[in-house]
Structure 1
Amino acid sequence: MYIPPYYENKDIDQIRQFLRENSFGILVNVVDNKPWGTHIPLELEQDLNGADVLVGHIAKANPQWRYFSDNAEVLCIFNGPHAYVSSSWYKEEEVPTWNYIAVHVYGTLKVLSEEETMACMFRLVDKYEAGSKNPINLKNMSPKTLRQVKGVVGFQIQITDIQATYKLSQTRQADHAKIISELKERNDPGSQAIADHMNQ
């Protein structure tokens, strides 16, 4: 991804936190000579050696998995908040722009066994049920229901490169206070979140 140097984020701890909070991403590989993307949860975990990996699964009905091969390189795209920035907020004339946070993760993919896939699903459900009023637990589900795991393909992605863009008006320091103030006056979550990130 193209990243001007002043928007590049290399703070790996901050990026890890972003990936944990924005784990619904897009898995991209090549299917029949065309780019193919699937929108799925891609969870940041660590392998047995302590290295960062992404873990996920897709339906076997999705032809994308038929083009998975061990050590095939894939791209995972994660989007954070974004907001339109009006140049009417600047002290000097300039074109308007868009502030946003996005992370691209490259890696090599390995297909998981059915047992490994099931273990990943247990962790996924436990993570997202933690805040539920009446959390479910896969341990309490019948073997018949859990057989649905046979309809998915689990995978692990060994991360080889991370590219992170945090475009937060870094080149307009003199206008920061005004941009933040104007964004805060908007009701949409993207504007509010971008203002918070700019404040940090």
Structure 2
Amino acid sequence: MYIPPQFEESRVGVLQEVIMRNPLGSLVTCSGDGIDANHLPFELVLRSGALGVLQAHVARNNPLWHEVAQGSEVLVIFRAQDAYISPQWYPSKQDFHQQVPTWNYRVVHAFGRVTFHDDAQYVRRVVAKLTKSNEATQPTPWKMTDSPKEYIDAMLKKIVGVEIEITRLVGKFKLGQDEEARDIRGAGDALVSRNEREIGLAMLECADNKDI
């Protein structure tokens, strides 16, 4: 990934936060059958002194866990909210008429080594953690015990666990850092007003930092 210096984000905690807030990752792999990508919800497990471990599961019928060798290096791409940026939102456009459209975004690339777990206890534990995390915002969170044990047991037999020990995190936050603070703020305000709040607020924070 090409990263101009002004767009580089290297703070591990910030990158981990993007992953946790945007858990649907694109798992990119390479095997004898070529390059492939699978889109999976991941749980980031933090471990002392390490970058973390990504845990997920795939359908047993998915050839991924047969085609990719244990311990292979893989890439998982996590993307936060992105947005089109109109030149009309830049105050400097009115002064100089030298602005063009662009697209802003925040992405994290997690590199690591993959292990597949065809193990009932591991799979149950991963599914339980994913469920707990994603049901936390519901008024009445669904639990695995809400369904008959026989049904859950049968469903778990249809999936295989995926674990990726992260070896490297790379972040690119393109938020208009190469623009004037007033232009970053103008675009950020426009996005917030359009209910694209996540990236709009990130741009406003970027503008505030540029003013310091």
Query: Partners of 1:193 and 1:140 in 2: how far apart?
Result: 34
1:163 aligns with 170
Aligned residues with identical type, % of pairs: 32
Q: Residue deviations 1:84-136, cap 9 Å, x none?
A: 11223342303211111111111000122321111111111111222223322
Query: Partners of 1:140 and 1:94 in 2: how far apart?
Result: 55
Question: Of the candidates 179, 187, 199, which is equivalent to residue 194 of structure 1?
Answer: 199
Per the normalisation by structure 2, the TM-score is 0.85
Identify which range, 156-165 or 129-138, moves more after superposition.
Answer: 129-138
Q: What's the Cα RMSD here? A: 1.8
Question: Of the candidates 165, 177, 181, which is equivalent to residue 189 of structure 2?
Answer: 181
Q: CA deviation at 1:3?
A: 1.1
8 Å contact kept, 2:31–2:68: no
One-letter amino acid of the counterpart of residue 101, structure 1: R
Residue ranges of structure 2 left out of the alignment (5+ in a row): 206-212
1:152 aligns with 159
Question: Of the candidates 129, 132, 139, which is equivalent to residue 126 of structure 1?
Answer: 132
Identify which range, 8-17 or 140-149, moves more after superposition.
Answer: 140-149
Identify which range, 66-75 or 136-145, moves more after superposition.
Answer: 136-145
Q: CA deviation at 1:170?
A: 0.3
8 Å contact kept, 1:31–1:64: no
Q: CA deviation at 1:18?
A: 1.1
Per the normalisation by structure 1, the TM-score is 0.89
Q: CA deviation at 1:7?
A: 0.4
8 Å contact kept, 1:68–1:111: no
1:116 aligns with 122
After superposition, the Cα gap between the structure-2 partners of 1:129 and 1:178, relative to the gap in structure 1 and judged at 3 Å, is closer
Residue ranges of structure 1 left out of the alignment (5+ in a row): none
1:142 aligns with 148
SS in 1 for 2:140: coil
SS in 2 for 1:120: helix
Q: CA deviation at 1:183?
A: 2.4
One-letter amino acid of the counterpart of residue 122, structure 1: A
